Amino acid sequence: MLAAMALSVATSLLLPLFESEYALVAIYGLAGLGVAAFTPSALSLVGDAAPPSKIGHAYAWYSTAHYGAIGIGPFLGGVVAEWWGYRAAFVGSAVGIGIALGVGLATPVRPKAPTSERPGATFADVRNDPGIWAGWIVAVSGLLIQGVVFTFFPLLAHERGSTPAGIGLVFLVLGLSNTLARVPAGWLVDRSGRSAPYAIGGILAASLITALLPHANDQVTLLTLVAVFGGLSGIAFVALSVGLAPSTTPATRGLVMGGYSTALYLGLAIGSFALGPVITHRGYAAGFAAGGIAGAVGTLVAALLFWRSLISSSRSAVTASEPVNESETAPSSFNSSPKFRNGQQ
């Protein structure tokens, strides 16, 4: 995680120095390596450290910090860019990350006592679990629509005459609503013992709002839509984290959460890249609608996988003649975990 933060400082300082597309692609590629190092490590660490009864709270607070920064960053960056230019905004980003890196280096970490046996996991250990695939597909779908919004809404707003500060305000509202929804979402998931309905329902509703955004012509309607979009996304992704992490074994948790992180940024990349040609040739309304449809279709596919895993789990419970030793079998994230079985232990 610390190495990833150091790499983020370097890429933030490099961005103001280059203008060619190839250089920017290379710098963003380095930044992507930093994200790839940071996110799975942080997600796995939270899953290892949190007590089982508070796993929802733990991921809620982690993601509150994560997405709170995503919400505040565009707003502060827009203000700095309007006052001192875009290059100053990237330098300010490097300074902020550098401060956090210093705090991280100075913070003592108490490592957990090593377990006697923690075998390495391979993809074969999780590839046949439909529940894990359901979680990954929902993650791709949810970040696909965010990729559309985060990448192309600033261009749409600029075309309509918005200032950088005005665009930053929109993302501040989106980020704050996303952040504020997470702690209540964690409490709700912990209390209800169910995650899949919140994840699937949240992304389906957010996909609909994505299609509606280009049609919001006044500021009040726009800010209302992005606030709801952010809140639904916050609830959905807390539910996803809670569903995937605690229901794996320590040996497979890093692999599953690494796949989850990969799914997140794959969705973000698809939303940013694939919808560009649609918007170029058909306009923003068609592009945002296509993104919303793609997100909804992916989420429905995940829902079918989840339903299949529930049926399979129910049949196994009926036909089983004796209980299975839980220490011998890794639980499935979207079927055998009590978070996903409607409270049946």
What pLDDT does 227 receive? 93
Task: Kindly report the CATH number that applies to the domain delimited by 2-105+127-316.
Answer: 1.20.1250.20
What pLDDT does 315 receive? 63
**Average pLDDT for residues 193-198, to the nearest whole number?**
81
Q: Is the pLDDT of residue 199 over 50?
A: yes
For residue 322, give the 3-state DSSP assignment. Answer: coil
pTM for the full model? 0.68
**Average pLDDT for residues 174-196, to the nearest whole number?**
81
Q: Is the pLDDT of residue 342 over 50?
A: no
What pLDDT does 341 receive? 39
Q: Residues 137, 196, 268, 205: what is their CA dihedral angle, to the nearest 10 degrees?
A: 120
Q: Residues 306, 309, 315, 320: what is their CA dihedral angle, to the nearest 10 degrees?
A: -140
The C-alpha atoms of residue 98 and residue 322 are separated, in whole angstroms, by 55
- Residue ranges of alpha helices (H) inside the chain are 2-14, 21-49, 55-84, 86-106, 130-159, 164-180, 182-192, 196-212, 219-244, 250-282, 284-319
330 or 178, greater pLDDT: 178
167-181, 183-197, 201-215: segment of lowest average pLDDT: 183-197
109 or 166, greater pLDDT: 166
* Alpha carbon 149 to its chain's center: 14
What pLDDT does 329 receive? 43
Q: Is the pLDDT of residue 327 over 60?
A: no
26 pLDDT band, cuts 50/70/90, is: very high
Residue pair 309/134 in contact (Cβ under 8 Å)? The answer is: yes
What token pair was written down for 143?
């970040």
String of b and e for 256-283 (b: at least 16 CB within 10 Å)? bbbbbbbbbbbbbbbbbebbeebbeeee
Task: Give the DSSP H/E element, type plus range, for residue 126.
Answer: none
Q: Where are the domains of the chain?
A: 2-105+127-316
The C-alpha atoms of residue 296 and residue 316 are separated, in whole angstroms, by 30
**What pLDDT digit, counting tens, does each position of 146-158 carry?**
989 988 999 888 8
**What pLDDT digit, counting tens, does each position of 58-81 carry?**
777 887 787 777 767 877 888 888
Measuring CA to CA, which residue among 64, 293, 342 is closest to residue 181?
64
**What pLDDT digit, counting tens, does each position of 231-280 carry?**
998 888 888 877 776 556 666 666 777 788 788 888 988 998 888 899 98
